[in-house]
Amino acid sequence: MGEELDGMDPLRVQLADRVAAKIADGTYPPGSRIPSTAQLADQYGVSQRTAADAVKLLKERGLVRGVQGRGVFVLRKADGG
C-alpha cells in the first residue's frame, strides 16, 4: 500500500514535506517528474484535493513547476534554497 501521514500538521503540509524530502535526497532529481496527484493520493491515502494542495505548496516553495499537459517537474536548486 502506501506511506502513512501522521502528525499535527495538515495533511497537505505533511505530504508536501514528504515530497520535498524526496526532492532533497535525490529520489526526485532536478528535471524529473514527480508523481501525479492521483498517484500521490493513492500512495499516501489522501484525497486528490489534498494531494493537489500539497503540490501547490511545493510550487509556492519554488521546488517544482507544472508544465501544461506534461506534469509537474522538479526545479534545479538555486543558491542553497
Beta strands in 1-81 (DSSP E): 64-67, 71-74
Q: Is the pLDDT of residue 81 over 70?
A: no
The CATH class, in words, for 11-74 is mainly alpha
For 9-42, what is each residue's pLDDT tens digit? 999 999 999 999 999 999 999 999 999 999 999 9
User: Of all residues in the chain, what percent carry a pLDDT higher than 70?
Assistant: 94
Q: Is the pLDDT of residue 6 over 90?
A: no
72 φ, ψ (degrees, to nearest 5):
-115, 125
What's the pTM? 0.89
pLDDT score, position 2: 72
Distance of CA 43 to the CA centre of its chain: 12
